[in-house]
Structure 1
Amino acid sequence: MTPPRLSGGDALVRALVAHGTELVFGIPGTHNLGIYRALAEHDVKHVTPRHEQGAGFAADGYARVTGKPGICLTTSGPAVLNAMTAITQSYSDSVPVLLISPGMPLRHPGRGNGTLHEVRHQSAALEAVIGYSNRVHSVAEIPLAVAQAFAHMTSGRPRPAHLEIPLDLIDAVEKVSDVAPVPLAHPPADAVTIAAAARRLSSAERPGFIIGGGAKGAAEEITTLAERLGAPVVATANGKGTFSEHHRLSIGAGLHHKAVADFVAECDVVVAIGTELASTDLWNGPLKFPGDLIRIDVDPAQMITNANPDYRLVGDAHATAEALNQRLGKGNAGQDSVQRAERWQKLFRKHARTQGATWLPLVEAMREVLSPGAIIAGDSAMVCYYGTLSNLPLEGPASFLYPTGFGTLGYGLPAAIGAKMAAPDRQVVALHGDGGMMFTLPELATAAQERLALPVIICDNGGYGEIRREMVDRSEPVHGVNLPGIDFVQVAKGLNCHGVTVDDSDRLATALRKAFAADRPTVIHVVGDLAGA
């Protein structure tokens, strides 16, 4: 069969559809119009955020909830650089997002000539930041480049990718052959190492688990394994909810509490699954493992980074946990395993509630209203990392979307939009501080345009509260962090959202219930003591 003649835009969208793409977050521009024509003709759902950074964060939220690559489409030059922060956040947290952009023409002069949106070495800039950028050199190459990008994003450790199409190829027409998606294998760790780890776990008297974002695809297997061993489980921010926090063996989420360090020190065997054990999770220095450490990770390099395990299980978390379960048989859970877990739960909760005391009334109001399977899309805000991370129990993988590694501001709202588009039947809440909210505030218009019943909680403490606290702790002048108040309710209404101000937990709970039943987003402006002001 003779390959069809397609434009670059048609070849791209046709390849995306072949790889299961149903939704694209993007902003049209002069150089990508041929792609937008193809999106319309192929009936691919498109959401238009108000800034490319918002498009990237939304694609990230969508990817975290679905497990499939999120697609972010921009034009060239400043648009790509606007999206770079969001895509770097995806890289830091191991999220598969495909950033697609035009680039300068094939025969563009190496030193430039003042073409619109001209950036020298745009692809090289993305390659330097996220490790993968592919600039195609023909229309015929586009299906191959898409297949390669998806293979990169979905095999091994998930990472984002950038695909650059020279602007003169988008409307150019060539013969194009389809390239089918690459079949992906998700093998377990090698059988010899699994057998050795299973023997060690069989003899463990005080086992424990640490689970991270890389464990999201193995929730059922990890639950079975923990129950079989009677092992208490603690989660990182990105692992929160993968092991239900209502489970009797769950200690909680957040590795930075003293109780976690003490728990790890007590264990004779710790199983760490899909976690970097990085300082952004630990805060207070590396954990010490006086017992044996069994580490399960799909990334061989990460396996020995931040902690060198006694048992190195390089493989897919789902397949490896399943293999361990098969090896262990009935397991060896002791009668005192639940009592042991309860003891550590109490110590963890004591530390978490002390650190998050300011936000406990707000957290309790949310807990009262949220249904099982609810998703919190949090910003890098005090109410998130002090308040909800360790004090609001959640259940289900990807139930807490949080910008851990890169620590960007402005993540919560656009990520919530992506999450709600991915899971329209689940409750989704965006949770922000007033400072970070201003980074992506215009995305309220995006959520309103899509008619999303999305509560957007803004805890107003009058500026950059965390930096203010650090200045005080350093006995230095408090400078540049106190921001004049914003009437977020009026802003919300101006962007076609509902808006309400609350100053106590009962009003917050009422506002949340109404927001989940609303016909559009609702900004809930939290002020006073409830916001930690």
Structure 2
Amino acid sequence: MSMTQSRLSGGEALVRALVAHGTELVFGIPGTHNLGIYRALAEHGVRHVTPRHEQGAGFAADGYARVTGRPGVCLTTSGPAVLNAMTAVTQSYSDSVPILLISPGMPLRHPGRGNGTLHEVRDQSAALEAVIGYSHRVQSVAEIPLAVAQAFAHMTSGRPRPAHLEIPLDLVDALDKVSEVAPLLVTHPPADAVTIAAAAGRLTTAAKPGLIIGGGAKGASEEITALAERLGAPVVATANGKGTFSEHHPLSIGAGLHHKAVADFVADCDSVLAIGTELASTDLWNGPLKFPGDLIRIDVDPAQMITNALPDHRLVGDARATVEALNQRLGKGSLSEEAVKRAERWQKLFRKHARTQGAVWLPLVEAMREVLSPGAIVAGDSAMACYYGTLSNLPLEGPASFLYPTGFGTLGYGLPAAIGAQLGAPDRQVVALHGDGGAMFTLPELATAAQERLALPVIICDNGGYGEIRREMVERSEPVHGVNLPGVDFALVAKGLNCHGVTVDGEDRFAAALRKAFAADRPTVIHVVGDLAGA
């Protein structure tokens, strides 16, 4: 801690600390109780983007964090605003994304049972602590820089998780002597050398190795590619791991663990290395994978190491550092023709299953494949066009190229996440992909994208409501009700929100609209109807 002190307001102390930790962009909405923070943002030149709802702010911060690898920052006012953002940060918690949610709270000496103060919540910090595991309410202006440093250390060490920082509203404008706190040094060590040596020995003797990569592997793309080639191991990815290992690589089987081909592939392997994946039901859909051979897991979270599957070798450590250490142990190698042929066999089975499951969306996916450039980012919603269509049928390359609300499975994620992703990666193509039901959850964020002048295609596949739930009702032989929604003219709505809008019902028209959208001066809603939308 520096001995240099300055007399600062709580808002000034907060923004200075954020800047010291590399914050350049904040997503948020001003309110009565956070104006002192907004004054400091303007004075320090921190870029601010104003979504139209706090949930959109949280999702945008999530998209930004996923593509940049840096914590996203979401700033709300107290009470209903921070609770609006709770869904978004819970999604971030579920998918291990570092988001700092900042809000004012009730005054320091606020009565415990309440007195009717504006935006009063009995204990909003406890509410956030209950769902994301980290919420800290500061007790003085002087504590704020320390609290920011602690929050960033929490988000960037071990398993990435969100954090909530609450500033009592009477501290936002209060003055006090404040000492700056330098960012804490966070290291990312590999697993211990003995365990790495044992795992390397097992992998060396494996005749039929395989790799499963999840969201926790996205910082180790180059190292994993080198390891897969050295071992001659085919690779399958989860939704959050999609693109980390290029799906154009000859060893890539594909993304999506729920296909029968993946279960059969794992059962055929004599050694499986799983990197940064929960092996959770939200990825598997059809029950746990069976590992007749050895299972080796790399995970930064010790508790996760033994959740959902018990490994024969437990490598607790940072994915990149641990895989790099494995590569050093294994030495150099070249990709054999036999390994490529083995991968091709599993690719064919995987693609057969994926194309069968996603058949109605294949024309849409093929058009996207034709238009998207290498390194493109698809921000998907929890929609049939995403989990049946693009997840397993649209090859992508590059970490964080498929942003998807896997664990919590919320609706409305795609559009605001795409906004955050585009602002975090302005040189990459970004596209949002929604169903018509989920699009309505955050549709006003079109105005945010228009205000920022983003050339963002927003694809809305209209199948007349909540198609997946409708399918499940039919499958259960139960009455179909509550799922069929009256049609919305999304192209017309888009124009009302200062975006371009077009309705398409054919593959050629869709591809042309997508190309035009990437060259536009603002967002373009592409309303997909008919067979192309899976209707």
Per the shorter chain, which TM-score range? Answer: over 0.9
**In 1, distance between residues paired with 2:5 and 2:443?**
46
> Distance in 1 between the 2:272 and 2:214 partners?
13
How is 1:92-491 mapped onto 2 (pairs within 5 angstroms)?
92-331=94-333, 334-491=336-493
Quick check: 1:413–1:443 contact (8 Å CA) kept in 2?
Answer: yes
- Give the partner amino acid of 1:474: R
Q: 1:34 aligns with which of 33, 36, 50?
A: 36
Q: C-alpha separation between the residues in 1 aligned to 2:209 and 2:530? A: 44
Once the two structures are TM-superposed, the CA of residue 331 in structure 1 deviates from its matched residue by 4.5
Aligned equivalents of 2:225, 2:358: Cα separation in 1: 28
2:472 alignment partner AA: E
Equivalent residue for 2:50? 48
User: Cα deviation per residue 1:442-489 (whole Å; 9 max; x = unaligned)?
Assistant: 000000000000000000000000000000000000010000000101
In 2, Cα distance between equivalents of 1:120 and 1:387? 44
Q: Could you say what secondary structure the match of 2:498 adopts?
A: coil
- Cα drift, residue 425 of structure 1: 1.0
Query: Whole-Å Cα distance in 1 between the matches of residues 195 and 54 of structure 2?
Result: 45
Specify the alignment match of 2:511 in structure 1. Answer: 509
CA contact (8 A) 2:214 2:241 kept: yes
Deviations 1:130-170 (A, max 9, x none): 00000000000000000000000000000000000000000
Q: CA deviation at 1:329?
A: 1.0
Is the aligned partner of 1:20 residue 2:22? yes
In 1: Cα distance, 2:211 partner to 2:393 partner: 19
After superposition, give the CA deviation of every residue in 1:201-224 in whole Å (9 maximum; x if it has no partner): 110000000000000000000000
Q: Is the 8 A contact 1:202 1:331 kept in 2?
A: no
Structure 1 unpaired stretches of 5+: none
- Write the distance in 2 (CA, Å) between the matches of 1:320 and 1:446: 41
Is there any run of 5+ residues in structure 2 with no aligned partner, and where?
none
- Contact 2:229–2:334 under 8 Å retained in 1: no
Conserved? CA contact 1:144–1:179, under 8 Å: yes
TM-score (norm 1): 0.99
In the alignment, the residues of structure 1 paired with residue 509 and residue 36 of structure 2 have an alpha-carbon distance, to the nearest angstrom, of 49
Q: Matched residues in 1 for 2:177 and 2:446: separation? A: 42
Cα shift readout 1:2-60 (whole Å, capped 9, x = no counterpart): 51100000000000000000000000000000000000000100000000000000000
Q: What per-residue deviation string (whole Å, max 9, x for no partner) do you get for residues 409-460 of structure 1?
A: 0000000000000011110000000000000000000000000000000000
- The 1-side partners of 2:333 and 2:192 are apart by 21
Cα distance between partner residues in 2 of 1:505 and 1:449: 30
Deviation for aligned residue 1:332: 8.0
For residue 199 of structure 1, give the secondary structure of its aligned residue in structure 2. helix
Q: CA deviation at 1:100?
A: 0.1
CA deviation string 1:81-133 (max 9, x = no partner) = 10000000000000000000000000000000000000011100000000000
Cα RMSD, aligned residues only: 0.7
Of stretches 334-343 and 409-418 in structure 1, the one that deviates more from structure 2 is: 334-343
1:243/1:250 contact within 8 Å kept = yes
Q: How far 1:330 moved relative to its partner?
A: 2.9
Equivalent pairs, count = 533
Q: Deviations over 1:57-94 (max 9, x none)?
A: 00000000000000000000000110000000000000
Identity percentage over the alignment? 89
* Kept after mapping to 2: 8 A contact 1:378/1:412: yes
SS in 2 for 1:210: strand
The residue aligned with 1:531 is 533
2:91·2:407 contact (CA, 8 Å) conserved in 1?
A: yes
How many Å separate the matches in 1 of 2:142 and 2:272?
A: 50
Q: Distance in 2 between matches of 1:63 and 1:244?
A: 21
1:92 partner amino acid? S
Displacement of 1:335 in angstroms is 3.8
Distance across 1 between alignment mates of 2:455 and 2:486:
29
